[in-house]
Chain A
Amino acid sequence: MQEFAVILVSSILINNYVLVQFLGLCPFMGVSKKLESAIGMSAATTFVLTLTAMASYIVNELVLMPLGLIYLRTIAFILVIAAVVQFTKMFIEKTSPLLYRVLGVFLPLITTNCAVLGVALQNASKDLNFMQSSLYGFGAGAGFSLVLILFSAMRERLAAADIPQPFEGAAIAMITAGLMSLAFMGFSGLV
C-alpha cells in the first residue's frame, strides 16, 4: 500500500512529467488556453497513459524480452500506443457518445504526446511489475492533468493581463511554466 502511495506521490508531484521530466510539453502548451479543453485533454491523456502502461508492459514482457528484441521497443511501443488510442476512441464512442464529443478531438493528439511513449519506455527500463507499471502510467497521467488544468486556469487569467507585446502568447506561457516548475522544485525529496 505504502509503495503505491510512494509511486503516486513521486510521479505526480516530485517527478512531474511536465514540469520536471519535460514530457508531454506540446499538448501542455497547445491545449492550455481554455480550462474546458484542458480538462478534456487531461481525462483523455490519463486514460490512454494508464492503458498504454499496461499494454506496453504486456508486449514488453511477453514478446520483446523473450525474443530478445529489445531494440524494437520504440517501434513496438509506438504501435501499441497508436492502437490504444484508436481503441480508446472506439470504446468511448460506443459507450458514451457524450464523452466522445468532449474528448474526441483530443484523442488523435495523444499519439504524438511523448509522455505516453515516455512512460512505456521508462517502465520498461525500470523493471517493474504489472501493478507498478500501471500505477506509474496513472500517476504520470494524473500529474500531467494536475499541471495542465491549473496552468490553463492561469492562462485564462493571463488573457487580460497587460503583458508586454513581445511576451504575449507563447513566451509568457513558457515563463509561467518556468515559475511553476520552480514551485514544483519544492517537492523534491518528499519520498
Chain B
Amino acid sequence: MSRTWETPGGVHPPENKLQSMTQSIGHLPIPGTLVIPLHQHIGSPETVDVTIGQTVLKGQKLTTAIHSDNLPVHASTSGTVIAIDDHPVAHPSGLNALCVTIASDGKDQWIERTGIADFRRCGPLDLLQIITDAGIAGMGGAGFPAAIKLSPSNDKTVDTLIINATECEPYITADDAAMRGKTQDLIQGIEVVCHILNGPKRVVIGIEDNKPQAIKALRSYVQESSIKIVPFPTKYPSGGEKQLIYILTGREVPSGGLPIDLGMVCLNIGTLIAIKRAIVDGEPLISRITTVTGEACGVNRNYEVLIGTPISHLLTHNEFDENNCSRLIMGGPMMGFSLTSTDVPVVKTTNCILAPSHSEIPVDTPAQACIRCGLCAEACPVSLLPQQLFWYAQAKDQERLEAHNLFDCIECGACSYVCPSNIPLVQHYRSSKGEIRKANIDKIDADNARQRFEFRKLRLEQADKQRQAKREARRLVTEQARAASSTSQPGSSAADIIAAAQQRAITKKASPDQQKAKLERALLAAQSRLQEAEKRLIEATINGSTKQQTICSASVESARQKVDQAQHRLRELTD
C-alpha cells in the first residue's frame, strides 16, 4: 500500500525549516484592533450583519451567507466594531477590500459554544452545516469552503480521503507544528470527516520524509486504525493537491477536473483541526497556526494567531528589522505573494509570514533572454513547456498558449526558480491567464452588445415602418376627409381626426395595472433565468473548465442584474 509514485520535475530549494521549529507553538497578546476581511475564500460575497459601534463577542458571526458557496466570518475576539470599510487585505494586488475592524476589549469573551462530543450521532448534512457556519475554508491553499468539498454529490462517492501533510514549501512549518502539537485534534478531525464521508475505504496521510518527528507523533496515534501514513521523498511541489494524489495513488486528476472525479478528497492538516474544533468544541474558525520566519525577524516561531491580526502586530513581537528586510511575503518563498504593507491582516489561509533579509532573498537581477535551455521544462511538475509558454506569452498568442495547456499550470514557480536567465515566468503566466480570462469576458460582452445593437436597430426599423404606415393611413384619411369636406361636410375638420388618433393611441397604451403585470412577469422570468445560470455555474465549477466557469459566472452576473433591474422598475411603478 505504501508504494509511492514519482512526479516528473520538481526542485529542491533549501528548506530552512529548522529555524521556526526550535520552539513550540506560541501565543501572542491580543492586538488592539483586528481587521477581518469579509471575503477570504473562493465564492460570492455576503451581507454584513453588524453595524459600526456594535459590540461583538469572540466567535460571533459578522456576516450571513446569502448563497450556498458563501462562508461567514467571525469576530476573533470580543470588542467593538469601529469600522466597516475598505482596508488593505492579503492579496497580491495590494488592493483594498471590505473589512470589519474590531477594537478588542481585551476580555476575549466567547459567545456561547455548543460542541458535539458525540458527533457520530449527527447526520453528515447537519455536520456540514456546522462546518459551513464555522466559516471553514481550506487552510492549505486556495481556501475553498471545506463543506462543499465534503458535500455528497449525487453521482460521485468519495472512497479515498487524502490528508495533505506535505508542507513542501521551504520555511513553513505550521502544519508540522500542528501535527506535533495537536495530534489528537487532528486525529479527531479525521474521524469527523470520515464520518461525514460515510467511511471512505482509504484514508492516507501524505507526508514528506523531512518531518520525522511529525511522522512519529502521528504513528503513535494511528497504529491500529485504518489510517495510513505514507512518507515520500522531499521535493517541491509534492504538496500540490494533484501532485500529492499522483504520488500516493498513481492516478491523475483530469485536466479541468477535481479530485472528486477520482473519488478523492484532499484536505490540509489545518482544515482538519479546524473541523474538529467546529464540531467537537463548537468553535468557529477564528485562529490558525502561522509560521513567522526569515532572517529579518529576530525570532522565528509558529504562533496560534487570531484571524484579523495585523501583520505588523506579528512582526513587532518577533523583533522585525525593517531595514534588513528585502520583501515581505505571505506564504512560502515559492508560492507566497509579496505584501506591500504591514497593515494587512492574517486571514484563514495565512500559513506563513516570511521576512527574509537582503542576503537571504536578494533583489532579482533583470531577466535575460530565454535561451531555451529547457531547465524549466525539466523542473515542471505537470510536464508543461514553460519556455514555450513564455515565448507565446510574449507573442500574446492566446491560441497557442491554450494549446500548450497554460491553464494546467499550477503556478508552483519551479520553472522560475531554476531559470538561469532569471525570467519571472510565473508572472508571465499569471498575466496571460488574466488576459485570456478578460478576453473571454470581453467576447461575451461584445456578443451581447452586438445582439442588443442589432435588436435595437430592428426595433427602430419596425417602429419606423409602423410610423410610416400610420402616416400613410393618416394621409389617406385626411385626403378622404378633404374630399368629403369639399363635397359635403365642411364642419368636420382635421383637428377631429387628430383627436381621434390621439384617443386611439391612449387606449393602446397599457394601463398601469397591465404594466405592472408585465413587469412582474419579467421579474419572474429573470429570476428563473438567474437560478438556471447559477445552477450552470455550480456545475461548471465542479466539473467544467476554467473557461466555462468564467462564462457561467458572467451569465450569472448579467442574470442577477436583470433581476435587479426588474425589481427596480417594479418598485418604481408601485411607488
Contact = CB atoms under 8 A, between A and B. Distances in A.
Asked whether the complex places CB atoms of A and B closer than 8 A, the reply is: yes
Interface of A: 157, 159-160, 162
Given A160-B392, A160-B397, A162-B369, 4 more contacts: A157-B391, A159-B395, A160-B391, A160-B394
A36 to B, nearest CB: 10
B399 to A, nearest CB: 10
A159 B369 contact: no
Contacts of A160: 391-392, 394-395, 397
Contacts of B394: 160
Residue from the set A157, A159, A160 with the largest chain B CB neighbour count within 10 Å: A160
9 contacts: A157-B391, A159-B395, A159-B397, A160-B391, A160-B392, A160-B394, A160-B395, A160-B397, A162-B369
A153 to B, nearest CB: 12
User: Looking at chain B, what size class is its interface with the partner chain?
Assistant: under 10
Interface of B: 369, 391-392, 394-395, 397
Contacts of B391: 157, 160
A162 to B, nearest CB: 7
Contacts of A157: 391
Nearest to B393: A160
Nearest to B394: A160
Contacts of B395: 159-160
Nearest to B370: A160
A157 B397 CA distance: 11
A89 B391 CA distance: 38
B154 to A, nearest CB: 40
A67 to B, nearest CB: 55
A34 to B, nearest CB: 10
A45 to B, nearest CB: 25
A160 B369 CA distance: 12
Give me the 8 closest cross-chain CB pairs, A-B, nearest first. Answer: A160-B395, A160-B394, A159-B395, A160-B391, A160-B392, A159-B397, A157-B391, A162-B369
A56 B397 CA distance: 43
A111 to B, nearest CB: 31
A82 B139 CA distance: 70
A15 B363 CA distance: 55
Nearest to B369: A162
A155 B341 CA distance: 45
Nearest to A159: B395
A160 B372 CA distance: 14
A162 B395 CA distance: 10
A88 to B, nearest CB: 30
A118 B470 CA distance: 69
A160 B394 CA distance: 6
A23 to B, nearest CB: 31
Contacts of B397: 159-160
A76 to B, nearest CB: 45
B388 to A, nearest CB: 10
B260 to A, nearest CB: 37
A142 to B, nearest CB: 27
B262 to A, nearest CB: 36
A160 B398 CA distance: 13
A157 B394 CA distance: 11
A162 B367 CA distance: 14
A162 B369 CA distance: 10
A39 to B, nearest CB: 15
A159 B392 CA distance: 9
A119 B410 CA distance: 54
A41 B34 CA distance: 67
B390 to A, nearest CB: 9
Contacts of A159: 395, 397
B423 to A, nearest CB: 13
A160 B391 CA distance: 7
A86 to B, nearest CB: 34
Nearest to B396: A160
Nearest to B392: A160
A159 B394 CA distance: 9
A21 to B, nearest CB: 33
Contacts of B392: 160
A157 B400 CA distance: 11
A105 to B, nearest CB: 19
Residue from the set A157, A159, A162 with the largest chain B CB neighbour count within 10 Å: A159
A159 B398 CA distance: 13
A72 B495 CA distance: 85
Nearest to A158: B395
Nearest to B400: A156
A86 B238 CA distance: 61
Contacts of B369: 162
B435 to A, nearest CB: 15
A159 B391 CA distance: 9
Nearest to B388: A157
A15 B17 CA distance: 65
